[in-house]
Amino acid sequence: MAESSSNPPVLSVRELCKSYANTVAVDGISFEVGRNEIVGLLGPNGAGKTTTINMVLGVLEPTSGTIHIQGVDLSKRRSQALEYTNFAAVYAPLPGNLTVVQNLRYFGMIYGVQRISERIEALLQEFDLVRFRDTKCGVLSSGEQTRVALAKAMLNRPQLLLLDEPTASLDPSTARDIRARIRDFTANGTGGVLWTSHNMYEVEEVCDRVLFMSRGKVLLQGDPRKLPHEHGKATLEELFITVAREPLALEHP
């Protein structure tokens, strides 16, 4: 049930901070992810992207600020808010000692998926996993494991899909296939995606909007196809390198 409005953005982050003893990992960032929108969260290593995603996933408590998923306050109604989400991350593989179907059933039960067997069969078809249904995930190739992780991420038809470098370690052909599926997800449903990647070509191709983070702050945001020119750069990659090396130049133009 939405708290703030009848049709809230799928993700609303306000003044989000996370600090440790001597480090500010995320420094007062605010952004939204709308329906049918793919938002890229970009930045150099240590910029605060994964910290932000972990806070949205509810496994890291913010020092201050709020996170609303589908209008539900994550800090107050964690379980309900997380029913609207799912995620896939390269550093969170599914248990390798369970088969594809076993993993999907296990997580399907946790996410409260209705008619779970039908849903699993549909996802096996959609992600071309039928021949691996009884194969243990640990013996699948990187690309196959990514497809399983994405199938798991789609189990509950999430309104907010969080993808942390989903195409890292994939060959170009598989990565293109994965990108197409994610675009289908936003085009054919009502959900939105928060996507991190270091592949600027991929970001330009997939994302409707990007947020550039550096040192815990959002320095820039906009259309990835226009943003480089707005800041005097030829490509998104050049802009990325400037953000990584000279963030102050962009912070105080």
Binding site for other proteins (CB under 8 A): 20, 50-51, 54, 57-61, 78-80, 82-83, 85, 87, 89, 91-99, 102, 105-107, 109-112, 152
Which C-beta is closer to other proteins: that of 20 or that of 234? 20
Which C-beta is closer to other proteins: that of 102 or that of 199? 102
Which C-beta is closer to other proteins: that of 99 or that of 214? 99
Q: Are 63 and 85 in contact (CB under 8 A)?
A: no
Give the N- to C-terminal CA distance of the chain in Å, as an integer: 42
Q: Are 160 and 11 in contact (CB under 8 A)?
A: yes
Which C-beta is closer to other proteins: that of 38 or that of 88? 88
**Closest separation in Å from C-beta 178 to other proteins:** 19
Which C-beta is closer to other proteins: that of 116 or that of 244? 116
Which C-beta is closer to other proteins: that of 42 or that of 72? 72
**Closest separation in Å from C-beta 121 to other proteins:** 18
**Closest separation in Å from C-beta 104 to other proteins:** 11
**Closest separation in Å from C-beta 16 to other proteins:** 14
**Closest separation in Å from C-beta 57 to other proteins:** 4
Q: Count Cβ neighbours within 10 Å for each residue of 200-211 and write b for 16 or more, e otherwise.
A: bebbbebbbbbb
- Measured distance CA(245)–CA(97) in Å, rounded: 42
**Closest separation in Å from C-beta 152 to other proteins:** 8
Widest pairwise Cα distance in the chain: 56
Q: Are 66 and 75 in contact (CB under 8 A)?
A: yes
